[in-house]
């Protein structure tokens, strides 16, 4: 399996000094090549899960492992992407894509070649000399995906990468991300608050409770076209899945 959380609990010291439990006894696995989404109310510790997978901090109790290896620091097998594209504004697109390769002992020509390859896979060929400010929001997120793929990660972590985009761009970008991820057969963990997005893009969805976050449901999305959300979107079952998520999150009770 690609990613495993074994009874993971994470506590933080809050500013007032008391201990705050962000996630509690989270336990799940992601198989190789699988696309799993994590949904939950805001503040339920979704991003904590992501940061622990990336190795930015360690669990208080339990263990996180990637490809069978315990994660105890920044991990070269994990690529992550946030809502912000985090492109370096002073670098052109191809140098941005190369950024993650620069600590890996590759020579310049090899880095360039690898970066060109992923840029083409992300349909950004021809834009390698552009600077980030010259690209649209959607293209910038595609460049960020290219940077993430360039390091050949075993697992990709996506933290709400589409939430800052307008509705149309979002649909197109979900489609292009799904295609690229399917082509490259990457294991992916998507953190999102968009229920439809979770249904359209995933093989499996984990539903987290409110803080302290813990997995309250696991839904297998048994629908075709995982690599093409625009097609999956037209299936009637999609709304049933979304309704199911909706009820798990007890959103009716909160509506008024």
Q: Give the binding site for another protein (CB under 8 A).
A: 54-56, 74-76, 78, 80, 82, 84, 86, 88-91, 99-100, 102-103, 130-134, 151
User: Residue 152 CB, nearest distance to another protein (Å)?
Assistant: 13
Q: Got the DSSP string for the chain?
A: --EEEEEEEEEEE-TTS-EEEEEEEEEEEE-TT-EEEEE-STTSSHHHHHHHHHTSS--SEEEEEETTEE--S--TTEEEE-SS----TTS-HHHHHHGGGTTTT--HHHHHHHHHHHHHHTT-TT-TT--GGGS-HHHHHHHHHHHHHHT--SEEEEESTTTTS-HHHHHHHHHHHHHHHHHTT-EEEEE-S-HHHHHHH-SEEEEE-SSSB-EEEEEE---S-TT-HHHHTTSTHHHHHHHHHHHHTTHHHH--
Q: Pick between residue 40 and residue 100 the one whose CB is nearest to another protein.
A: 100
- In angstroms, how far apart are the furthest CA atoms of the chain? 59
Q: Give the residue carrying structure tokens 């093409």.
A: 228
To the nearest whole angstrom, how small is the minimum distance from the Cβ of residue 69 to another protein?
A: 15
Task: Give 37's Cβ-side CA count (13 Å radius).
Answer: 25
At its nearest, how many Å lie between another protein and the CB of residue 89? 5
In angstroms, what is the minimal distance from the CB of 130 to another protein? 8
Q: How far is the CB of 81 from another protein (least distance, A)?
A: 9
Q: Which is nearer to another protein, 156 or 219 (CB)?
A: 156
Least distance in angstroms from the C-beta of 142 to another protein: 17
- Using the minimum distance from each CB to another protein, give the nearer residue, 127 or 241: 127
Number of C-alpha atoms within 13 angstroms, CB side, residue 203? 16
Closest separation between CB of residue 72 and another protein, Å?
Answer: 13
In the complex with another protein, which residue's Cβ is closer, 41 or 76?
Answer: 76
Question: 134 or 239: whose CB is closer to another protein?
Answer: 134
C-beta of 75 vs 178, nearer to another protein: 75
For another protein, which is the closer residue by CB, 103 or 120?
103
């Amino acid at each position: 399996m690609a990613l495993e959380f074994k009874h993971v609990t994470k506590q933080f010291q809050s500013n007032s000094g008391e201990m705050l439990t962000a996630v509690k006894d989270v336990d799940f696995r992601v198989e190789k090549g699988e696309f799993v989404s994590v949904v939950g109310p805001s503040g339920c510790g979704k991003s904590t899960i992501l940061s622990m997978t990336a190795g930015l901090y360690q669990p208080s109790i339990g263990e996180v492992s990637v490809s069978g290896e315990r994660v105890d620091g920044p991990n070269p097998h994990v690529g992550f992407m946030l809502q912000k594209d985090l492109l370096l504004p002073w670098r052109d697109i191809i140098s941005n894509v190369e950024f993650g390769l620069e600590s890996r002992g590759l020579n310049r020509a090899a880095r360039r070649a690898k970066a060109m390859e992923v840029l083409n896979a992300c349909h950004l060929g021809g834009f390698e000399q552009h600077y980030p400010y010259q690209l649209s929001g959607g293209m910038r997120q595609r460049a960020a995906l290219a940077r993430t793929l360039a390091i050949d990660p075993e697992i990709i972590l996506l933290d709400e990468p589409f939430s800052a985009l307008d509705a149309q761009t979002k649909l197109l970008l979900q489609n292009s991300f799904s295609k690229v991820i399917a082509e490259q057969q990457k294991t992916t963990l998507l953190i999102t608050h968009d229920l439809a997005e979770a249904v359209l893009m995933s093989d499996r969805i984990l539903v987290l409770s409110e803080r302290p976050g813990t997995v309250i449901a696991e839904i297998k999305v048994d629908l075709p076209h995982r690599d093409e959300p625009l097609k999956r979107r037209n299936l009637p079952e999609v709304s049933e899945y979304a309704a199911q998520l909706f009820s798990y999150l007890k959103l009716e009770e909160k509506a008024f």
